[in-house]
Amino acid sequence: MPSPTAQALKRISILATDCVFASTLMQAKDFFHMASLRFGKLQGQGLTPQFEIRLISPDGQPVNSFSGVAIAVDGALDESDIVILPAFWDDFDALCQRHPQVLSWLKQRHAAGSAICGEATGVFWMAQAGLLDGKEATTYWRFFREFAERFPRVLLNQDKHLSDADNLYCAGGVTSACDLYIYLIERYCGAGIAQGVARDILYETQRSYSPGRIGFGGQKLHQDVAILQVQQWLEEHFAEKFRIEDVARQHGMSIRNFMRRFQAATGDKPLHYLQRLRIETAKGLLSATRKSIKTISYEVGYDDASFFARLFRQHAELSPNQYRRQFQHKDGT
């Protein structure tokens, strides 16, 4: 499936309910509004927003935030390309009873191809709608026990701050949500705009998510437990020296059976999957550090920097230096 583009991005909807944390609500709005302005500038439209960011409530009425601030909204539940579910501090059962339409709306939006993003308690909406059944998810650590008891069919991962599966994104808390917004902006608008937003909005761009947390979740929707274990192992050991044959044997499979099962489950060959893990890690190091290409090559598992550079270009369609230059501060960017 081709990656979405900003040209296709028309509307982002941010759900406001009573007792929402106003800071998380406005944080999402500010990140995407800045992206919209920057994309307009890139298109030669000046500082003209190129997509709409709307605050919505279940009934289109104003809400009162956790701290008692009255928040006006732009309307009721609507069609959108991205749905943001901010954190709230309220009785979730009571919220569901007051606003049952939110659950059917989320199902409709997901079926229509919208990206659904939950932050901390916002993830509860996604799980209650059944969208996360059989899929990996995370939430804020204080709610792990309640979440697991409420939603036993969800694969709660307590070790991750971010998760993605089937266009469903979960952020454990406020900092993780910032990482998620930057990721989505890069996905829809490109790396240059994402980095510019990070600078302009005073966000310190340090990719706190590790390989596999973002970008690989869609390849974990299968039910082959042994292959899921291999994927987890690769995410933890991707920079080490090993043979694919040894990985297969360690997980009780012949190399032939392993290759067949891995591709059937993930749609990818094991070596290509490993290369993507390494290249995605290298992208983070190129954008967030001043380490040399040779050092980065070594840190992601390649002793030969020339081979690494050729492989990077195959995956990113840019050389490592060209990719890094996208993130260097330039006047007017």
Q: Give the whole-angstrom CA distance, residue 254 versus residue 152.
A: 33
Beta-ladder partners of 75? 56
Reported as half-sphere exposure (CB side, CA atoms, 13 A), residue 231 has a value of 26
Residues 34, 145 within the same domain = yes
The pTM for the full model equals 0.68
- Predicted confidence pLDDT, tens digits, the chain (333 residues): 445 665 578 899 999 999 999 999 999 999 999 999 998 888 788 788 889 999 999 999 999 999 999 999 999 999 999 999 999 999 999 999 999 999 999 999 999 999 999 999 999 999 999 999 999 899 999 999 999 999 999 999 887 888 888 899 999 988 888 888 988 888 888 877 887 887 787 665 444 434 344 556 567 767 788 898 898 899 889 999 999 999 999 999 999 999 999 999 888 899 999 998 999 889 888 877 889 999 999 999 999 999 999 999 998 888 999 888 876 654 344
Residues 192, 232 within the same domain = no
Coarse DSSP helix, strand, coil percentages of the chain, rounded to the nearest 5 percent = 50, 15, 40
Residues 264, 278 within the same domain = no
Q: How many residues does the chain have?
A: 333
Residues 293, 263 within the same domain = no
Residue bearing tokens 């949500």: 177
Residues 237, 146 within the same domain = no
Residues 160, 243 within the same domain = no
Residues 193, 97 within the same domain = yes
CATH number at residue 294: 1.10.10.60
Domain containing residue 308: 272-325
**Which pLDDT value is given to residue 204?**
54
Residues 249, 104 within the same domain = no
Residues 176, 282 within the same domain = no
Residues 75, 157 within the same domain = yes
Exposure pattern of 148-170 as b/e (b: 16+ CB <10 Å)? eeebeebbbbeebbbbbbbbbbb
Residues 176, 278 within the same domain = no
Q: Is residue 307 part of a domain?
A: yes
**Which pLDDT value is given to residue 239?**
92
* Number of independent structural domains in the chain: 3
Residues 30, 72 within the same domain = yes
